[in-house]
Structure 1
Amino acid sequence: MISNYNINNVAEPVQRTECVTIGRLAPDFYALSTFGYIRLSDYRGKWVVFFSQPMSYTPVSTSEVINASRYYPEFTKRNAQFISLTTDNIFANLNWVYDIYLKTGIHVPFPVISDTDKEISQMYGMMNSDRTYEESVRDAFIINPEGKIMAILTLPITCGRSGYELIRILDSLQLTANNNLYTPADWRLGDPAIVPPPANYDALINSVNTASSSGLQCPFWYLCLQNTYTVEGTNGAVQQNFCQKCKK
């Protein structure tokens, strides 16, 4: 339940007028989950992948929760926490994760929120009157350790998310946060990354003149690539270059 209290101490639903967009603080919530009551702000200091499932016991959602559970160790290595949400009640969600365990042997290692009153879904814009389905869609929000939304992915209920792609996006966000580097199309951890382009003419000339001595590859003056296998990683360890072509 997300509520404010008026002068008579009567709960009133929170009304949000602003859009939930990249760069804004993620709306806080306190909600019942398969791990008990949780508060989003308690995860400050960690990256959070907050993703919705329209309902429990649906085929695409089940495949996503299994996939997220298998990828979970990779996210914990990156100081990241999963939080999932459905609009079903807590007993349905508990039965669902238990059914997944019975069929696969996988214990779902992250909380699944029961948003039965749909207040969290509405706060995050997962449910709009102009959408085809009444259920929440497949939204995923990647939230940084300061509580800001850094990425938003929205998919129809018919399309499951890729755990690999979520990791790729998280790696990109962490590389930018820690090293001020951008990532090109199809980038993977360890691939060369983009140095921010010069912001003025003097910086442009300096960049062109020093590119070779700086070890940069610049197919265009505004696109210079830097090897990242010697860049400090998120935990202070040197990241390894997993892209073989980049080692040549």
Structure 2
Amino acid sequence: MPEITGVPVVTVSDGLAEIVLDAPHKLNSLDIDDLTALRAAVADIASRAASGEVRSLLLRGEGRGFCAGRDVSGTDPDKDDATSYLDLLGHVLGELSDLPVPTFAAVQGACLGVGLGLAIACDVIYLAENAKIGSPFADLGATLDSGGHAFFLARLGRHRTLDLIYSGELISGTQAVTEGLFSRAVPAEELQEFTHAAAAKAATGPTQAFLESKRLLDAVAEEHLSPGEALARESAAQIRLSRTPDYAEGFRSFQEKRRPVFTGKVSS
């Protein structure tokens, strides 16, 4: 793989890829060069996923925070090229969301702006109980971005979303789970091990079945499928899966009363 320069550090082991935001001195905030390097890292993971080498992804940040957002240190607001940054960010978030494998984010400390966008582009987000999530953009004369409006509105409703935006309140990981934003918060000292274990387990699972579920959920949300239409899509997905090696292995292992050994392959 080509060397990735900038903030992201990429490793792959036993089907599990890790992208680590490794600039703890600035809470892993991202300037445009960092974001460019992150896009290259995601593209590399996508290529490895297509070949079957990668079957799960863990995205995490080193240090006290996951990602405090855009790195604007040294930026002249009168000369800021926000268009280029936001265009690139849109590509990164879309390509991360489209990865054909389960993706996990381990979120500790600050998760703001771009950081929030990166987290919600993943399939599963686990948070430290003391993580900080919110929209502190009012102090910058800016608005919530990185997909935050749709994400917050779908889970919190209009009034609570605007309350968080207007107030700039940062909520903890525990509160975010209580309010229905995310599924699980764990003690900060357990976060990395907990999320790594979940991502590693997914890397040994039925990759094609997981991909079908990602596609089905996207279709239900984006195409507003009726229950009957969703059922028909599920049936078609199940038929496709019935032709994969992992489907046969799942049946055999059940009949033989042993744990399945999945390969993630589309065909034999």
**Which TM-score tier does this pair reach, normalised by the shorter chain?**
under 0.3
Using the size of structure 1 for normalisation, the TM-score is 0.25
Larger relative helix fraction? 2
Using the size of structure 2 for normalisation, the TM-score is 0.23
Larger relative strand fraction? 1
- Bigger-Rg structure (1/2): 1
